[in-house]
Structures are given as structure tokens and as C-alpha cells.
Amino acid sequence: MENVYFDNAATTKLDSRVLSKMMPYFESVYGNASAIYRLGRNAHSALEDSRKIVSEILGCNQDEIYFTSGGSESDNTAIRGIAYANKDKGRHIITSKIEHPAVLETCKSLSKEGFEISYVSVDENGFIDLNELQNLIREDTILISIMFANNEIGTIEPVKEIGKLAHEHNIYFHTDAVQAVGSVKIDVNDLNVDSLSLSAHKFNGPKGVGALYVRKGVKFNPLITGGHQEKKKRAGTENVAGIVGLAEALKLAYDELDENNERIIKLRDYYLDEIKKRIPYIKINGDLEKRLPGNTNISFRFIEGEGLLLNLDNKGICASSGSACTSGSLDPSHVLLAIGLSHEVAHGSLRVSIGKYNTKEEVDYLIDCLVEIVNRLRNMSPLYEEFLEGEK
């Protein structure tokens, strides 16, 4: 098989229905949405129709949605924007140890600009420790930023409780919901969220376009200054085709949420069950209940994740490992270390993220390939040999 795609947490295939909706905004309605002639006005109304769709799905007002270039920009805008605009109230920010780099690196950068960052820990399933969070809160805490669902292990955080705690202390609550949007139902008011990031390419929309919800009344500075677009909060000629695609992808994701999730969860559980049956010495990472439908993360002991990925690639399978080696560093994932895995176990981890286009045949193929590859790699491993000796 070719291009058996199990890396849906990294990005997803564009839904062809989304592409069809986008095409007119490349080909005919190419006006600048700020222009006063009809070609511009038509682009502008597509923009506002898209904003309406997004706001209805998140349960907020249209003027609380800002379009951006993606999840990273949305996270940066929320965190930097709120930090800079509220620094007179305090300079303390709380986040977690398992955030995406878009949040972690932003906080790290702020820590060099006079802000102080606290990192709340997580338990072995990846849930943040609410007691510790409460204890970290100070007089000068202005922002709590905790992700909605983790991109590596799929654990869904107690967002509503975090928001409640934040609001009891008059602290803003930002959530990076890039992994959750499109597969989990979200109502920003019910969840006590003040700002939320999402990105179209994670739910079968186009790459390079995202949105940021910011509750009315929450002060934040723009990251990108220039023209008056997005209520002066995000300058730059709007990516109309991308935004139309984002809205359409979001609409389709929520119209078809239940049926897609049911199918995806079935495939996921089947995959996990078969691997448990057929491969010994594994550990399934992340919570099994409060989990993103498509996420699986398994540590295969005595195996290097990179070896696993290369062998899977030879079989046409795309997946992701539990270490950042592929991105040029030898450190195991900060998320897997935060849930308590040893370096060795973290290194042998494989994230298989299932999406709406995956089939049972593909999952069967993946399982057969994995069984063969894991056996072969283990048989070449001195660590495994030593371990078997010890077991005797």
C-alpha cells in the first residue's frame, strides 16, 4: 500500500468539498476584502459569513473571532497579546509541562522579557494537577494557558474546571484547542474559556489559516500591526479563500462529528486491542477515557521510535514517534517524560493518529506491519536479548 496516512495529529488531508468552496475565492472573487467595489464587498461578505459559522460552532459572538495564519499564531497572539496588555496588573503566567511548542516557546520567550512562568505538572495519564494549579496561583497571576487536548497522547484536560478556577481568581484562561476543535464539541461560555486557538489543517481544512476566539472585554495587544483588518488586532490582507475553507471544514466536521467519531473510535480501539494481543512489553500512553477519538500513543519497549518510523515508511505508512529526533534533536518528547516515562521507554513510542479517511483495511495493514517490524527490531536488540536472559 502507498501513503497509508496515520499522522492526522500532524495535519490532515484537505476535504475535497472544502477545496470546492475555496476555489471561487482564488479564481473569481479575488478582490481585497477591504475594497469598496463589488469584488471587494463580495470577498468581505464571504469573510463575515465565515466568521458567523465559526462563532456559532464555538458558541460566541462574531466579533470575538479573529482570523490568523494558524494555531501557532493564535497561541502567540493570545499569550503575548494578553501578557503585554495586562502587564500592569501582574507578570505571572501559569502553563503546563505538556503544552505544544507554540505555547511553551512563547512562554519561554516571555520569561526573558520580565514575565515569570510557572509550569503545572501532569499525572501518569497526562491530566494536569488541579491542586497544584490552585497552589501556583498568585496575586500577580494574569493568565493561565492550558491546552484542551494533548497532541501527543490525546488526553483531554478538565478545561471547564481550569476555567472556573481561573475566573474565581480573576485570571484570564487561554486554551490551545488546536487538537480538540473538529472532534470535540466546544462551547466557550460553558467551558469558562477567555481565549481559544484553532487551526484549519487539523480538521481537514487548508494549511496556513486559523482562528483565535477572544472573549469581549479581554484586553490583548496585536502581534502583527499594520492595516485595520480584524478590528486592528491582526493586520494583513485577509486570506479569504483560506478563511472560507476553514469555515467550511469546521462546519463539515461538526455536521458529521458523531458519525466520524464513532467510526474513528472503533478503529482506534480495534488497533489498540490487536496490538495488546499481538505484541508483548508495550505501554499505552494517555488516558483511555478522556481522550481524543483518533489518538493512540504506544511505547514499544526495546525499540527505537526512529527505527520504527523508517521501517513503517518503507511500507508506505506515515506515523509519528515519541521523540523529537526527526526534528533534529535527540531528546525524547517532553510530554512523555512529563507523564513519567523513562528516556528509554519514551524513545520507543509511536503515535498513530487516525482520521476520517482511514479504513479498517489500512488499520489491519498497519497492525500486520507493526507486528513484523517490532519482532524484527527486537530480535536485533541487545537490550531485548539481555532482558529475555533476565526473565529466565
Ligand X SMILES: *Cc1c(COP(=O)(O)O)cnc(C)c1O
Active site residue 325: yes
Residues 80-119 that bind ligand X (CB under 6 A): 100, 102
Positive or negative, the Cα torsion across 320, 324, 325, 328? positive
Give yes or no for residue 178 binding ligand X (CB under 6 A): yes
Task: Kindly give the residue spans of alpha helices, DSSP state H, lying in 172-304.
Answer: 240-255, 257-278
The CA-atom distances, in angstroms, between 273 and each of 120, 151, 336 are 32, 22, 21
Selected catalytic residue, list 107, 318, 325, 369? 325
CB of 279 to ligand X, least distance (A): 27
C-beta separation of 74 from 68 below 8 A = yes
Give yes or no for residue 179 binding ligand X (CB under 6 A): yes
Residue of 96, 145, 199, 299 interacting with ligand X (CB under 6 A): 199
CB under 6 A: which stretch of 13-21, 42-50, 173-181, 362-370 binds ligand X? 173-181
Give yes or no for residue 242 binding ligand X (CB under 6 A): no
Nearer to ligand X, 29 or 352 (CB): 352
Q: Which cell is 78 given?
A: 493570545
Give yes or no for residue 122 binding ligand X (CB under 6 A): no
C-beta separation of 60 from 253 below 8 A = no
Q: Which cell is 307 given?
A: 527505527
Task: Round the CA-based radius of gyration of the chain to a whole number and report it.
Answer: 22
Give yes or no for residue 12 binding ligand X (CB under 6 A): no
Residues 16-35 that bind ligand X (CB under 6 A): none
Q: How far apart are CA 102 and CA 87, in angstroms?
A: 21
User: Per-residue contact track with ligand X, 45 to 74, x per CB under 6 A?
Assistant: -------------------------xxx--
User: Per-residue contact track with ligand X, 342 to 371, x per CB under 6 A?
Assistant: ------------------------------
User: Per-residue contact track with ligand X, 368 to 387, x per CB under 6 A?
Assistant: --------------------
Residue of 4, 104, 147, 346 interacting with ligand X (CB under 6 A): 147
DSSP state of 326: G
Q: Which cell is 204 given?
A: 481537514
The CA-atom distances, in angstroms, between 73 and each of 94, 223, 366 are 19, 8, 34
Q: How far apart are CA 156 and CA 177, in angstroms?
A: 10
Active site residues: 325
**Positions in the binding site for ligand X (CB under 6 A):** 70-72, 75, 100, 102, 147, 151, 176, 178-179, 199, 201-202, 210
